[in-house]
C-alpha cells in the first residue's frame, strides 16, 4: 500500500527547493513581472507629494523580516530623496526597529542627495504606540526632543517646518505583523485625512487588502514582489527584481511537489479501496 | 575588494546561516550553537536599544520647557519594576492603568470609523460601472461578504437557504485561507532567496565547502553504521 511519490525523503525536497533558488540567482532567467494596481497606487501617492513635502516613514520592521523588507525601505527612501521630498524616519512599534531604519537610511542616503538633518532625519523609537502617534500628529515636539543620535531636534533644519499633522504630506508605514497599519490609519488618516501607504511582508498582505480596496490605504507594496514592481515602475531595477526569478522558480517547484503529493495520496487511496473494498 | 574584517564577518554570518539550514538535514550541534548565538545576540541587542531609548526619552528629553512629561513618564516606568518587590507590587497597577487607559482611549477615538464605517461603505457597491468586469467583481465581493457573515450566524438552524449560503461562505473562506497561506509561503521564500544571495557571493560561498563535506561525512558514517 504505497506509492513512490509518498516515499520521497523530505530532505530531497529541501534540496530541490534550495537548488530552485540558487540556480536562478547564479543564472538569471529574466522572467517577466506583472505590475499590480496596488504598487502603482503607492508610486502615485509618493509622486503626488509636493517637492519639499514631508514624508513620514513609520518603520515597524525588526530583524526577523529584514531580508524581505530592507530593499523596500531602501527603494522608497531613495525615490523620495530623488523627488526632493523630506524624509522623516521613526519607529512606533519596537526599539530594535530603529536599527533597521538606520541601516536602510545609511545604505542609500549619500548616493541620492540625502544630507542628514537637511532633507533626511532619523528620530528613532517613540514609545507608547498609538498614544505616541496621536501626540506626534498633534504636536511633534511633545514626543520628539532629540533624534536617534541624541542631537536636539531644534538643531536640525529639517525639523523647522514640521510642527504637526498639517505639515505631513504622506505616511509610509512598513508592517510585518498583526494590525500594524491600522494604527496609522486610526491616528493619521481617519482624523486628519493624511494619505497612508507603505508596504508589508507578504505573510500579512491578505489582512491589508481590505484597507486598500476601501481606499483608506493609498496602495501598499506586497513583500519582495511589491518591491520588485516598484523598482520597475520607477525604472530603477535593483535587488528585488533580481530575486523574482528565484521566487517564480521556487513557487513552481513547490507546485510540482504539491501535485506529486496529491497524485501519490490519490493513488494510495485508489489502491487501498480496491484491496479492502472501503473508500478512503 | 572585501576587507579582511568584512570577509571574516561574512564567513561567520554564512556559517551561522548554513548551520541554521542544517536543521533540515537533522538536529545537530552546529544548529544548537547558532541557535544560542542568535538568542544571546538578540537579547543583548534589544537590551542595548532599550537603554538608548530610555536615556533619550528621559534624561535627554528633560528641559525647562519639557519637564513634567518626561519626569512623570520616568516615575511611571519606575513603578513597573515595583512588581519585583512583593510589598510594593501593588504600585505597578498605577502604571498599568495609565498605559491601558491611555491606549484604549486613543485607539477607540477613530476605531469605529476606520475599521467599521469605511469597511461597510466599501462593501456597498454601485453596479453602474461602465466596465462589466468591475460590476461582476463588485457582485462577487458582495456575495462573498454576505455569505461569509452567514457562516457565523449561529442562531438560525442550518437548513434551507442558510445552509446553502453558509456553504458558499465556507468556499469563500477556503479561498481566503489559501490566499493567506500562499502569501505566507511567498514571504518565507523571499527571506530564503535573500539569504541565498548573501551566501552566493565571494567569500561567503567558501563556507559551502565545509558544509557539504560535513554532510557527506555524516551520510558515509550512517551508511557504515547501517542506520
Burial class of residue A168 (count of CB atoms within 10 Å of its CB; 0-12, 13-18, 19+): buried
Please tell me the distance in Å from A277's CA to the nearest CA on chain B: 30
What would the pLDDT profile of A7-34 be if each residue is shown by its tens digit? 778 888 888 988 998 898 888 888 888 9
Question: Is the per-residue pLDDT at B113 higher than 80?
Answer: yes
Give the helix/strand (H/E) hosting A120. Answer: strand A120-125
Start-end of H helices in A27-152 = 37-47, 66-83, 97-108, 129-138, 140-143
Calpha distance A210→B176 (Å, rounded): 12
Calpha distance B98→B89 (Å, rounded): 16
Instruction: Name every chain B residue with its beta carbon within 8 A of the beta carbon of A11.
Output: 24-25
Neighbours of B33 (CB within 10 A): 13
CB contact under 8 A, A186 and B110: yes
Query: ipTM score of the complex?
Result: 0.78
C-alpha cell at B149: 457573515
A186 touches chain B (CB under 8 A): yes
**What pLDDT, on a 0 to 100 scale, did the predictor assign at position A243?**
86
What would the pLDDT profile of A90-99 be if each residue is shown by its tens digit? 999 888 889 8
pTM, 2 dp: 0.85
Instruction: Name every chain B residue with its beta carbon within 8 A of the beta carbon of A71.
Output: 194
B226: left (phi over 0), alpha (psi -120 to 50) or beta: left
Instruction: Name every chain B residue with its beta carbon within 8 A of the beta carbon of A213.
Output: 122, 141
| Residues A176/A200, Cβ–Cβ less than 8 Å | yes
**Which B positions 171-210 lie with beta carbon below 8 A of chain A?**
176, 179-180, 183-197, 200
What would the pLDDT profile of A228-276 be if each residue is shown by its tens digit? 999 999 999 988 888 888 888 988 998 898 888 888 777 777 777 777 6
**What pLDDT, on a 0 to 100 scale, did the predictor assign at position A278?**
61
What would the pLDDT profile of B141-168 be if each residue is shown by its tens digit? 888 989 999 998 878 777 888 899 999 9
Task: Tell me how many degrees the CA angle A90-A95-A96 measures, rounded to the nearest 5.
Answer: 100
Q: Number of C-alpha atoms within 13 angstroms, CB side, residue A195?
A: 21
Closest to A57 in 3D by CA, of A16, A116, A111, A97: A97
Amino acid at each position: 500500500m504505497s506509492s513512490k511519490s509518498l516515499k520521497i525523503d523530505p530532505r530531497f525536497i529541501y534540496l530541490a527547493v534550495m537548488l530552485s533558488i540558487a540556480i536562478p540567482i547564479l543564472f538569471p532567467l529574466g522572467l517577466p513581472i506583472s505590475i499590480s494596481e496596488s504598487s502603482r497606487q503607492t508610486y502615485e501617492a509618493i509622486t503626488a507629494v509636493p517637492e519639499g513635502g514631508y514624508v513620514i516613514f513609520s518603520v515597524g520592521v525588526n530583524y526577523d523580516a529584514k531580508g524581505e523588507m530592507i530593499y523596500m525601505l531602501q527603494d522608497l527612501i531613495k525615490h523620495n530623496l530623488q523627488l526632493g521630498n523630506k524624509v522623516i524616519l521613526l519607529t512606533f512599534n519596537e526599539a530594535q526597529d530603529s536599527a533597521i531604519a538606520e541601516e536602510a537610511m545609511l545604505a542609500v542616503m549619500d548616493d541620492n542627495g540625502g544630507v542628514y538633518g537637511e532633507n533626511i532625519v532619523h528620530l528613532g523609537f517613540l514609545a507608547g504606540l498609538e498614544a505616541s502617534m496621536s501626540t506626534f500628529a498633534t504636536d511633534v515636539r511633545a514626543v520628539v526632543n532629540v533624534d536617534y543620535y541624541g542631537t536636539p531636534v531644534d538643531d536640525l533644519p529639517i525639523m523647522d517646518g514640521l510642527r504637526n499633522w498639517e505639515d505631513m504630506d504622506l505616511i509610509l508605514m512598513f508592517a510585518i505583523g498583526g494590525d500594524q497599519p491600522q494604527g496609522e490609519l486610526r491616528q493619521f488618516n481617519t482624523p486628519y485625512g493624511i494619505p497612508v501607504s507603505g508596504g508589508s511582508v507578504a505573510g500579512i498582505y491578505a489582512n491589508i487588502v481590505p484597507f486598500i480596496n476601501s481606499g483608506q490605504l493609498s496602495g501598499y507594496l506586497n513583500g519582495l514582489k511589491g518591491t520588485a514592481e516598484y523598482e520597475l515602475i520607477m525604472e530603477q531595477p535593483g535587488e528585488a527584481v533580481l530575486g523574482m526569478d528565484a521566487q517564480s522558480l521556487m513557487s513552481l517547484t513547490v507546485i510540482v511537489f504539491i501535485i506529486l503529493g496529491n497524485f501519490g495520496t490519490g493513488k494510495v487511496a485508489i489502491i487501498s479501496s480496491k484491496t479492502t473494498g472501503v473508500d478512503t | 575588494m572585501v576587507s579582511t574584517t568584512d570577509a571574516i564577518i561574512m564567513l561567520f554570518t554564512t556559517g551561522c546561516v548554513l548551520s541554521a539550514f542544517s536543521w533540515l538535514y537533522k538536529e545537530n550541534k552546529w544548529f544548537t550553537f547558532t541557535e544560542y548565538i542568535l538568542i544571546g545576540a538578540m537579547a543583548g541587542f534589544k537590551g542595548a536599544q532599550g537603554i538608548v531609548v530610555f536615556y533619550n526619552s528621559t534624561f535627554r528629553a528633560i528641559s525647562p520647557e519639557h519637564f513634567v512629561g518626561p519626569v512623570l513618564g520616568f516615575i511611571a516606568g519606575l513603578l513597573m519594576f515595583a512588581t519585583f518587590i512583593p510589598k510594593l507590587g501593588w504600585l505597578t497597577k498605577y502604571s498599568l492603568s495609565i498605559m491601558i487607559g491611555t491606549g484604549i482611549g486613543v485607539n477607540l477615538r477613530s476605531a469605529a470609523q476606520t475599521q467599521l464605517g469605511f469597511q461597510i461603505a466599501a462593501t456597498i457597491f454601485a453596479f453602474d460601472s461602465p466596465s462589466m468586469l468591475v460590476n461582476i467583481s463588485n457582485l462577487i465581493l458582495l456575495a462573498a461578504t454576505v455569505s461569509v457573515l452567514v457562516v457565523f450566524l449561529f442562531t438560525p438552524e442550518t437548513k434551507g437557504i442558510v445552509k446553502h449560503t453558509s456553504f458558499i461562505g465556507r468556499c469563500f473562506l477556503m479561498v481566503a485561507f489559501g490566499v493567506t497561506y500562499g502569501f505566507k509561503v511567498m514571504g518565507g521564500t523571499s527571506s530564503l532567496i535573500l539569504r541565498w544571495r548573501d551566501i552566493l557571493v565571494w567569500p561567503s560561498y567558501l563556507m559551502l565547502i565545509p558544509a557539504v563535506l560535513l554532510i557527506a561525512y555524516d551520510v558515509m558514517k550512517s551508511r557504515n553504521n547501517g542506520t
